Structures are given as structure tokens and as C-alpha cells.
A and B are shown apart, each in its own frame.
Chain A
Amino acid sequence: MSTDTMDLLDVLLMRVLDGEATPDERAKLLKLADAEPRLAEMKELRSRLREALSDRASEAPEVVAEVLAALVIDDGWAETADLLRSELEVGSVDMVEQVMDSLEVGCEPAVRISALHDGELDPAERVELAQTLGRSAITDMTDWADIGRHLREALHAEVKAVDLMDTWGLVAVRVGMTNPEEVPGWEPIADELREALREAATLTAQDEVALTAAVMNSLPREESIEDEPTEVSAPLDEQPAWIRWASKPWMIPIILIALVAIYQNRDLKEEQPEVQETVAAVEEPSLVEAFVIAAQNQVLVEDLALGDEVTVAVFQAEDGAPLFLMIDEGDEEEATL
């Protein structure tokens, strides 16, 4: 069939659809349709077309409806649908049955509810549909959700689990890439990203202090603060016992004798080296000298209790730096940090 013939057939068909075709043109259209090789085997279609053109010759025929009806009658899809149905029967779950059962509800409201559930309706349609919905719509939508769940479960059960994590590495080697992770031209972008992440992820010293303070202040206080214990001192007029005893006149000779005895005893001790004595009562540290602050400091706060209105921020600028316990005494002056 030539292009001209096809064009003529189209023109005649359009005139028939518009109701403008003369009887001669209708006859010519039927003649051309019979001669069209692609329509030759579609007898039902040609029959419907002939019927449409002959029965209501004076009216604009429902050619489209007739043709579509003919196509539905024998379009070859039924066999495909059957095959598809058989393929989709997964294990004990007949998805098609479930889907079709639901579609049978099927009619327009159910389809529209489904469209609503899937977010496919525009706002005006949603409002319109919402006004028509009763409580059964909830049940319907729940049914649709169940169907979706069944479908997902059935599909997941059939899908073969394949780990593709290493696939690109193998492909990259095959195509000659030495580093599968390398993306040419990506480095400048990576630098920008790296810098942006570093800026976003690093707290300023003030933020770090504020964060630490917030965390520490949110911790429960385990014990209440008691006031500083009052120091109890001895009365000023009470003298040590040895002064009171030594001030008595009759004690003077005794003291003198005792001093002599002590002196003699010292000599005696020098003559008796076998007597060993360990006399360090207190483990005195060596001479207290000025300390140099170490380069690496390690301090851990085990316990921290605060007075009323007092807040403390505990922080360390960096590893090895001295730990800071930053106290805010809580009076009305500005914060210390």
C-alpha cells in the first residue's frame, strides 16, 4: 500500500467520522479498507466498519466505538495476559487473584480511593472525593494497603538476593581503572566538601564551653552542699599542759634532771647501734619546688557538686591540655566566660 493510498484512506475516514462523507466516499473507504493488507486479516474490524458505514448512512457513524470494540474482541492480548497471570502466581500467594479481587470492588469509587491513597489526585479532586467518602473508605484504603503489603512480600520472596557491592570493583579493573574509587574531576569538589564538613563539624571554643556547661549542668547532683564546717579553736586563755606544769616552782628541778637524763640517754643510744628505728611519721615529699606545667596533663573529674546558683563548665582545649573547671559564681555580674 502506497503512502498516497494511505493518505486517501485517512482523509476519507476523517470525513466519515465528521459526518461529511458522501455515499461515494463511504464506498470508496470500504473499498480501500478491503484492499489494505494490514486490515485484510482483521475480518471483525472490517465487518464492524462496513456495518457502521452502511447502517446509518445519513448520520455520523460511531466508527471509533465500533473499531475499538473490534480491537478488544481479538487483539491477541488475552493470551499474553494469561501467560502473565501464570507467571505472577508466586508460591502460595496468588497475587493476581488478590489484585483482581480488589479491582472488582472496582468500580470507580475504589479506583479513585486508590488514586487518593497513592497521592495521584489533585487538590480539587481530593476535596470532591472527600465529600463523598463514608467510613467504609477507611476500610477500603486499609484493604488497598494490605494488597500492597502482600505484593511486596510476594515480590521480596521471589527476588534473588544478589550482593552487588563488589561488582564495580571488578568492572573497574576490567576497564583498566587502577583505583575504582577514583572519580576523575571529583577532587576539587571533594576538597570543597571536606572543608565545608570540617567547618560545620568543628565547634568553636565558645560553643564547646557552652555545650560542656549545658551537659554538666544537666547532670543530677548527687549530694547537697553543706556549708563550710565551722572551725573550732581552743579558748585563748587555755594554755598547753606542759606550760602550766612547767610554770610550777617544784617542777624546775625535775625538768633539769630530765634534761640531764635525755642528754645521757642520747649518749647511750650512740653506744647501742643494734637498736634500729624507723621514725618517719609522715611521708614527707621532697622539697617543694616550683612546678613546671607539664606538656601532657591527665586529669579526670570523678565527682562534682555545686553550691546554689553556681555553674561549672568542665572542658579541655585539646588532648594533654590542663583541664579547666570554669566556675560561674552566679551573682548578677556578667558571665565569666
Chain B
Amino acid sequence: MNGLLPLLAALTLGVGTPADVGPTTMISQQHKGTKVKAKAKAPAVNVQLMVVHASEGEAYVDPQLERLEKHLQFLRYDNYRVLDVHRSPVVKGKTTTFAIEGGRKVSIDLLEKNKEEVRLRVQMFKDGKKLVDTTVRVKRGSTFVVAGPKHKGGILLLPITANY
């Protein structure tokens, strides 16, 4: 029903379009014949979540992990392959969930954002149960790695980067 109301309003008043009325807060001002509509912006960041399979065997590092390679040397695995790369905006107030291998899910919430850094809540689930619930403060463009879930004789590495 709500979707039709703007249509009827447009029909009756002859002004505005459905696109003008969104779910976000609207402030309307009438000043000297000038109509100003301002909508509050919801902060958002771009998040990249890579899914990497680390296993023992032939030494290989996916080229996409070039910058990460030197930091992987303390792990006991030789073979690192990128299985998937998820990229999505994460908007404050809206949970973004990524499905990853092994029936797991990683959900990310944007809690705070300023010019230098963001606060993200990262949760990992497996079969409906929460494994980890952490809040991290990430400097703009920085990467952290959630790692360890077992997968096909090895483990998964999930490098997560937040940028904006």
C-alpha cells in the first residue's frame, strides 16, 4: 500500500516523483520560494573479503596475494589459492553478509566511520551458530585476516579490507 501512496500523491498534486520519497529521513524547507530537500546520508564503506584456501602441498601463492605473501610465511601451509573475492558497500545500520565455503557466513556491520578509520563488527557463523563476534577498528585502506576455518585439508584465510 505504501508504494502506491506516492503515486496517488503525484496524481493529485502533480509534483514529485516516487523516487523523491525514500526510506531515509527527509527534511523539507520552504524558504523564499525555494524548496530544499535534504536527506541524511548513511555512512558506508567498501569492503573486500577474499576467500583463500591454504593447504599443504606444492608451493604456490596466488598472484592476488602478492602483498600478503611475506606475512604468510609463519603459517605451516605452502599452497594459497584465492577461491572467491567478495566486494560490497557496507552501509551503517545494515548488515552485509557474505556466504563463504563450508556453510559459513561472515556478516559485517559498519558501526562508526570518520576520515581516518572505521569501526566494524565482524561475525562469523557456521551452521547457524556464532563462532566469533569481534569489533575492530580499521584504519582507512587497512586489511586484517580472519583465518583458521578448516576446509579441504587446509584452512580458509579471509583477508578483509575496508576502504572509502
Chain A positions near chain B (C-beta within 8 angstroms): 205-206, 209, 225-228, 240-242, 245, 254-255, 257-258, 261-262, 264-266, 268, 274-286, 288-307, 310, 312, 317-318, 321-329, 331, 333, 336-337
B152 vs chain A, min Cβ distance (A): 12
B10 is an interface residue with CB less than 8 A from chain A? yes
Cβ–Cβ contact A317 & B135, under 8 A: no
B45 is an interface residue with CB less than 8 A from chain A? yes
Cβ–Cβ contact A281 & B23, under 8 A: yes
B115 is an interface residue with CB less than 8 A from chain A? no
A97 to B145, CA, bound (A): 76
Residue of B nearest to A243 (CB): B3
Cβ–Cβ contact A295 & B137, under 8 A: no
With contacts A283-B42, A299-B138 taken as known, whether A240 is within 8 angstroms of B3 at the C-beta atoms is yes
Contact among B23, B130, B136 for A301, CB-based, below 8 A: B136
Question: Can you list 27 pairs linking A and B with CB atoms under 8 Å apart?
Answer: A227-B128, A227-B130, A228-B125, A228-B130, A242-B3, A257-B11, A261-B14, A262-B17, A274-B33, A275-B35, A281-B23, A281-B42, A283-B44, A288-B88, A288-B89, A291-B161, A293-B65, A294-B142, A294-B143, A297-B139, A297-B143, A297-B144, A305-B133, A306-B132, A322-B159, A324-B147, A331-B150
Cβ–Cβ contact B130 & A225, under 8 A: yes
- Report A-chain residues with C-beta under 8 Å of the C-beta of B75: 337
Cβ–Cβ contact A290 & B85, under 8 A: yes
B114 is an interface residue with CB less than 8 A from chain A? no
A227 to B127, CA, bound (A): 10
Cβ–Cβ contact A275 & B34, under 8 A: yes
Cβ–Cβ contact A326 & B147, under 8 A: yes
With contacts A285-B45, A288-B87, A329-B126 taken as known, whether A265 is within 8 angstroms of B74 at the C-beta atoms is no
List 19 other contacts, CB 8 Å, given A291-B141, A322-B142, A327-B131. A228-B123, A228-B130, A265-B10, A274-B33, A281-B23, A282-B44, A283-B43, A283-B91, A284-B89, A286-B46, A291-B48, A302-B119, A304-B132, A306-B132, A324-B71, A325-B145, A326-B147, A336-B147, A336-B149
Residue of A nearest to B2 (CB): A241
With contacts A265-B16, A277-B20, A278-B39 taken as known, whether A293 is within 8 angstroms of B159 at the C-beta atoms is yes
- Report A-chain residues with C-beta under 8 Å of the C-beta of B34: 274-276
Cβ–Cβ contact A258 & B11, under 8 A: yes
Within 57-116 of B, Cβ neighbours of A (below 8 Å) are at 65, 67-68, 71, 73-76, 85, 87-89, 91, 105
Contact among A261, A278, A303, A307 for B37, CB-based, below 8 A: A278
Top 7 A-B residue pairs of the complex, sorted by shortest distance between their CB atoms: A205-B74, A327-B148, A298-B139, A293-B67, A283-B41, A297-B142, A303-B135
- Report A-chain residues with C-beta under 8 Å of the C-beta of B150: 329, 331, 333, 336
Cβ–Cβ contact B142 & A298, under 8 A: yes
- Report B-chain residues with C-beta under 8 Å of the C-beta of A303: 133-135
Contact among A261, A262, A298, A324 for B145, CB-based, below 8 A: A324
Cβ–Cβ contact B124 & A281, under 8 A: no
| Interface hub of A241, A268, A298 (most chain B Cβ within 10 A) | A298
Residue of B nearest to A317 (CB): B71
A178 to B10, CA, bound (A): 93
A251 vs chain B, min Cβ distance (A): 9
Residue of A nearest to B41 (CB): A283
- Report B-chain residues with C-beta under 8 Å of the C-beta of A206: 74
Cβ–Cβ contact A228 & B2, under 8 A: no
Residue of A nearest to B91 (CB): A282
Instruction: Type the 1/0 row for B1-31, where 1 means its CB is closer than 8 Å to any CB of A.
Output: 1111001101100111101101110000000
Cβ–Cβ contact A323 & B132, under 8 A: no
- Report A-chain residues with C-beta under 8 Å of the C-beta of B45: 285
A188 to B125, CA, bound (A): 57
A22 to B45, CA, bound (A): 121
- Report B-chain residues with C-beta under 8 Å of the C-beta of A337: 75-76, 148
Cβ–Cβ contact B144 & A299, under 8 A: yes
- Report A-chain residues with C-beta under 8 Å of the C-beta of B131: 306-307, 310, 327, 329
Cβ–Cβ contact A325 & B146, under 8 A: yes
A206 to B73, CA, bound (A): 11
Cβ–Cβ contact A301 & B139, under 8 A: no
Cβ–Cβ contact A285 & B46, under 8 A: yes
Contact among A265, A284, A302 for B17, CB-based, below 8 A: A265
Cβ–Cβ contact B136 & A299, under 8 A: yes
- Report B-chain residues with C-beta under 8 Å of the C-beta of A258: 7-8, 10-11
- Report B-chain residues with C-beta under 8 Å of the C-beta of A225: 130, 133
